[in-house]
Structure 1
Amino acid sequence: MEKYQKAEKIGEGTFAVVYKGTELATKRLVAIKKIKKNNKNQDGLDVPTIREIRCLKELKHTNIVDLIDVFAHKQNLNIIMELMDSDLEAIIKNKSVVFNAGDVKSWLLMTLRGIYHCHRNFILHRDLKPNNLFIAGDGTLKLGDFGLARDYGSCSKPMTSNVVTIWYRAPELLLGGQYYGPGVDIWAIGCIFAELLLRAPYLASDSNTDLGQLHTIFRALGTPTEEDWPGFSDLPDKKGLEFQMYPRTPLQTLFTAAGNDALDLLESMLVYDPVKRVSAYDALNHCYFRNSPLPTKPEKLPRNIIPVVEPSEKNLKRKAGDDDLNSANPKLARLLFV
């Protein structure tokens, strides 16, 4: 702990307290995540924390959040990570931030580079969404929150289907599939790509159920058949279910401003059959990234602009119970996945 100077608290969650800090030797800003002791676990560690540490120690890449240090101090586990400025969700939602086709291409390119590094090291992220894609001070996008990540060797080993936030969850997971691979991450990236183009979640369901999410997907992309997706009828949660047959709506109908190359890449990510879904490697080699406009350089990408609120008598009054955490930038706390 002598290597770091701890500053203000920037967030607190169920399993951890997060502080802003400085690495004394390099003077760089870091985030210090102090894990709370779990009374149900003699070691004091929850499974997501173990997974996150293990994955980040293995995965060193420009587009993956950097794990700097892990150590015990006064019976607490401390995780030191690079401090990030914001996340992609904040940029998408902030209507004062204007971005163009080159910016979208750059964010997607960095996301695919990060997930390709995961997949070639046989690790599935299993929770990709805009607020798990973090933006560094130099504009670089980095994958974070590896609490649901796990290693895989082949699709013959069963895994839980209860992964990935529901709006970004692949249809094979929604139907209870336990034998899956990198395609679940690619589907999620396809949903993120669509969200960048629309500046709104593409497959957002009003129902917070797997069945409701499936209906949302089928209305948007058409109801699959055995011809489209061999093995579709044999998935655990498909048996006994009959879905309304929706026709496939061409993506051009909704994504009117997107070019043909962008739509071709998006469509290849949102293929129902996981076997036919594009890989991260093939997506990176798609002509979309070579065509004009070229991806924006990270340092020139738009940032999350926090509107300046003019001080007023109402703003200057401090409410009872206000503390530093309430006034801190909540996006700083998101880095450490609390």
Structure 2
Amino acid sequence: QVGSRYRLVKVLGYGSYSAVCLAVDEATGEKVALKRVADVLQSPEHTKRVLREICILRRLRHPNLIGIRDAFVRPSATGHVDVYIAMELADGGDLFHLRGQMSSEEVRSLMWQLIVTIKYLHSIHVWHRDMKSQNVFLVWEGGERVIKVGRGSKAGFKAPLTRVVATPCYRAPEVVMSRGGYTASIDMWSLGCIFGELLQRIAHPPGIACWPATPLQALFAVIGTPCWADVAAVQEPSWRRYLHHLPGRAPTLYRRFAAAGEAAVDLLSRLLAFDPTRRCSPDEALAHEYFA
């Protein structure tokens, strides 16, 4: 059903609302990732979500972002209308499934690219809202790994912000504990989670625990419980009561990631600050000693 321009090669994966195939653009010879969004008119919300994604993708111009090549509609075999989005193909796999250790220099290079990418998105008022290692793809350019970030959502859209953003283990505390009252700093929290994953790839002494995923108890075992001033700033009374009753725990970041070096752990702690107003911005992160 994709017409004559694209020749389908194989299925690359499935999502909640879509499927992605490797395809060849017969007009250019380029291999692309062709995403099919089924029944785009099933509801006004679904239609707006897909249209918003296409509009955002057409605005993005950055070497570390997966670019859009084409978008078109086709009738489906069931009588519905499907949308197809042809995207730049990043065929080096994603960061989550990458195997093996990395050098400190490789980790530093990847983090620099990620932060620069988020800085660009925020500069045009776009929040990614689902930063995770599965959305960070890798390609080889000039003998070095280069990241390509996929997917994102726009800040300030008319629908209310919700807690249904981000994959759970990359979800900032304010997303969990609020009714949509969060800012672009949620992307910096997610970068902190990815940074923790990358730091685990640097050889370290045995016995250092791995980076845990949420729930919150496991999170606080790493970053420590929030101070009372941070608890007082939490909007939801039920969450304030919950946090007040937690026994105080010291952060264990320095013990867990000591092998990565003091500068790396300090940047990690700033990215994983519980209070989003104290979490470092992209500019602050790029100016950190870790990148000196």
TM-score range, shorter-chain basis? Answer: 0.7 to 0.9
Match of 1:222 among 221, 224, 241: 224
CA–CA distance in 2 between the matches of 1:13 and 1:190?
Answer: 25
The structure 1 residue matched to 2:165, chosen from 157, 163, 166, is 163
Q: Give the strand-richer structure, 1 or 2.
A: 2
Q: How far apart, CA to CA, are the structure 2 residues paired with 1:37 and 1:101?
A: 46
Give the residue type in structure 2 aligned to 1:72. V
Name the count of aligned residue pairs: 272
State the partner residue of 1:67: 68
User: Helix, strand or coil: the match of 1:227?
Assistant: helix
Q: Which residue of 1 aligns with 2:288?
A: 286
Question: Is the contact between residue 176 and residue 236 of structure 1 (CA under 8 Å) also seen in structure 2?
Answer: no
Identify the match of residue 108 of structure 2 among 96, 105, 125: 105
2:258 touches 2:265 (CA, 8 Å); kept in 1? no
Q: Does the 8 A contact of 1:190 with 1:270 survive in 2?
A: yes
1:125 to 113, 125, 128: 128
AA aligned to 1:29 is K
CA displacement, residues 262-297 of structure 1 (integer Å, 9 cap, x when unaligned)? 11211111111111110012112222122xxxxxxx
Question: Which structure 1 segments of 5+ residues have no match?
Answer: 206-212, 291-338
Instruction: State which of 199, 202, 208 in structure 1 corresponds to 2:211.
Output: 202
Corresponding position: 1:83 with 2:92 = no
Deviation at 1:108? 0.9
Encode CA deviations 1:290-322: one digit per residue, 9 max, x unaligned.
2xxxxxxxxxxxxxxxxxxxxxxxxxxxxxxxx
Paired residues for 1:1-338 under 5 Å: 1-37=3-39, 40-41=42-43, 45-46=46-47, 48-74=49-75, 75-85=81-91, 86-91=93-98, 94=99, 97-138=100-141, 139-146=145-152, 149-152=153-156, 159-199=161-201, 202-205=211-214, 213-228=215-230, 231-232=233-234, 234-241=235-242, 242-290=244-292
Task: Report the 3-state secondary structure (helix = DSSP H, G, I; strand = E; otherwise coil) of the residue aligned with 1:272.
Answer: coil
Q: Partners in 2 of 1:227 and 1:15 — Cα distance?
A: 41
Higher relative contact order (Cα pairs below 8 Å, separated by 6+ residues): 1
1:118 counterpart letter in structure 2: L
How far did residue 171 of structure 1 move? 1.1
Runs of 4 or more, structure 1, over 6 Å off, are: none
| 5+ long unaligned stretches in structure 2 | 76-80, 202-208
TM-score when normalising by structure 1: 0.73
SS of the aligned residue for 2:239 comes to: coil
CA RMSD of aligned residues (A): 2.6
Read off the aligned partner of 1:221 and give its amino acid letter: I
The alpha carbon displacement at 1:150 in A equals 2.5
Summarize deviations over 1:11-67 as a string: whole Å, max 9, x none. 344433322122234322111122222573389x55543332222112221111111
Asked whether the equivalents of residues 219 and 246 of structure 1 are also in contact (C-alpha less than 8 Å), the reply is: no
Q: 1:284 to 1:47 in 2, by over 3 A?
A: same
Please, what TM-score do these two structures have when normalized by structure 2?
0.83
1:298 maps to none
Secondary structure of the structure 2 residue equivalent to 1:257 = helix
